[in-house]
Amino acid sequence: MSVLVVGSVALDDVEAPAGRVQGVLGGAACYFAVAARYFSPVRVVGVVGTDFPREHLEFLESRGIDLGGIVHAEGSTFRWGGRYLENLNERETLYTELGVFEGFRPELPRHFRDSVYVFLANIHPTLQRNVLQQAEAPVLTAMDTMNFWIESEASELELTLAAVDAIVINDEEAHQLTGIRNLVKAAEAIRERGPRIVIIKRGESGALLFDEEGIFSAPAFPLQQVQDPTGAGDSFAGGLIGALAREGSSGPEALRRAIIYGSVMASFGVERFSLDRFRDLTQDEVEQRFEEFRALTRF
């Protein structure tokens, strides 16, 4: 079943203890799409400028990702720069240059409107809702957000929250959204505001799922080397939604398996800079790590 993602397509500059890269492929929609494509067909809605390298589009196309919703606009592609500290848990945003992303008004091509699984990556909450209105009959809708929107667009965010089935955010965002530090209570408070499924990512501490069945906890895969945590959350969401689409279900059992697939994709993504680990990652490796997760948590 088809997955639709709306979000940033970016050129990133990243500094980390393992090295430094400039003008590499990034953006929430790209991380999400590449990860989700291991499981199901994927459609992308986003915008790039005239400076966006052709080779990045060719890479996404070579994966069979449908780029029919990418607008080519006059101007510069969204650029983001970030620097990680030694422990890799802390990140400093060096700059965010919106470029053509500033005037982005997502429009679904006609053949995208029947998308069954819809992921609204981190964009203005009003635009997120606008996308929902264009999707004709989605079975599962999920959203991300960030501190900026929580602080500056609280009432719009509230309306979007009430309109989605699921939210995938990190622990700090859950706290900001609710004012509650305890994640169990915060998740409960968010569920009361709309989404029946709340997923809270906790970086190297894994992820927590809250739904009508209760709580499920997934660890992060213990890695020997992490080069670049950028996009981990989006790769996680891609693995999660892609796996649900492959199963054609978002019931409790499917959700729990999908959380593990999300963790699998995030763990691969951070092994190298940008989306580089996905360039040679095979389907077999994905399934093998899924089994390794099973061994890791069985007792």
Choose among 245, 215, 223: nearest CA to 292: 223
Choose among 135, 129, 117: nearest CA to 153: 129
**Residues in the site for ligand AMP, rule: CB under 6 A?**
8, 10, 12, 26-28, 80, 96, 122, 230-234
CB of 37 to ligand AMP, least distance (A): 17
Token readout for 144 is 């991300």
CB of 167 to ligand AMP, least distance (A): 14
CB of 26 to ligand AMP, least distance (A): 3
Residue 139, phi then psi, degrees to nearest 5:
-90, -35
Task: Tell me the residue nearest to ligand AMP as measured from the CB.
Answer: 26
Contacts 24+ apart (CB under 8 A), 144-148: 144/7, 144/28, 144/119, 144/120, 144/168, 144/169, 144/233, 144/234, 144/237, 145/169, 145/173, 145/177, 146/122, 146/173, 147/172, 147/173, 147/176
Residue whose CB is less far from ligand AMP, 15 or 234: 234
CB of 121 to ligand AMP, least distance (A): 7
Token readout for 89 is 């848990």
Residue whose CB is less far from ligand AMP, 27 or 194: 27
CB of 298 to ligand AMP, least distance (A): 29
Token readout for 274 is 């940008």
CB of 124 to ligand AMP, least distance (A): 9
Residue whose CB is less far from ligand AMP, 203 or 219: 203
Residue whose CB is less far from ligand AMP, 90 or 284: 90
Residue whose CB is less far from ligand AMP, 78 or 112: 78
Instruction: Round to whole Å and give the CA distance between 167 and 141.
Output: 9
Tallying the residues shown for the chain, one arrives at: 299
Instruction: Round to whole Å and give the CA distance between 146 and 241.
Output: 19
Instruction: Round to whole Å and give the CA distance between 238 and 215.
Output: 21
Structural contact between residues 286 and 265, judged by C-beta atoms closer than 8 angstroms: yes
Choose among 226, 201, 246, 228: nearest CA to 38: 246
Residue whose CB is less far from ligand AMP, 88 or 139: 88
CB of 11 to ligand AMP, least distance (A): 8
Residue whose CB is less far from ligand AMP, 8 or 227: 8
